[in-house]
Structure 1
Amino acid sequence: MSENVLFNPGQAISSTFDFNEAYVAAQIYRKKNNKPLLVVQEKDGKLYCVFDKTTMQKSGTDSRPYRVIKHLD
């Protein structure tokens, strides 16, 4: 079962079409800021994004659904 979340795309820490690049960016950011992060993928399965978990949204006009790929706590 996949986990889906909503984020405003403008709040992405990083975005790329390569999972490994997104994961490395998340690890670097996590080491510097010690915040819980999520590596997510757009519903169309193309773009990977890194978000701070605290910016997750319940709903909103600017929100987009993403599928959670990796948790970095």
Structure 2
Amino acid sequence: MNNENVFFNPGDAIASSHDFKEARRSAQIIKADKPTAGQIVIAKNTKNGTYAIYLADKIRDDKQGEPYEIKDKL
């Protein structure tokens, strides 16, 4: 998967983790519980290295968010 850089407001995160596998497992559970919620992305904060789970429609511009690198999409 090509890495894509986007911006998110950290307060919009559904969940977060320091471990990618744990973040992915959480994202799968969220997606299974709410299959109509839209696309879920797992993003790595480029400043502190933590992973966060967001709904894809929460992407912001560089003036309203922090930089993240998309690691996976569900």
- Normalised by the length of structure 2, the TM-score is 0.85
What is the Cα deviation at residue 58 of structure 1? 2.4
Matching residue within 30, 34, 46 for 1:43: 46
Separation in structure 1 between the aligned mates of residue 3 and residue 22 of structure 2, nearest angstrom: 22
User: Contact between 2:23 and 2:52, CA under 8 Å: does it hold in 1?
Assistant: yes
Q: CA RMSD for the aligned pairs?
A: 1.5
- The percentage of counterpart residues that share the same residue type is 30
Partner in structure 2 of residue 25 of structure 1 = 26
- Structure 2 unmatched runs, 5+: none
Runs (4+) of structure 1 exceeding 2 A deviation are 58-61
- Structure 1 unmatched runs, 5+: none
- Normalised by the length of structure 1, the TM-score is 0.86
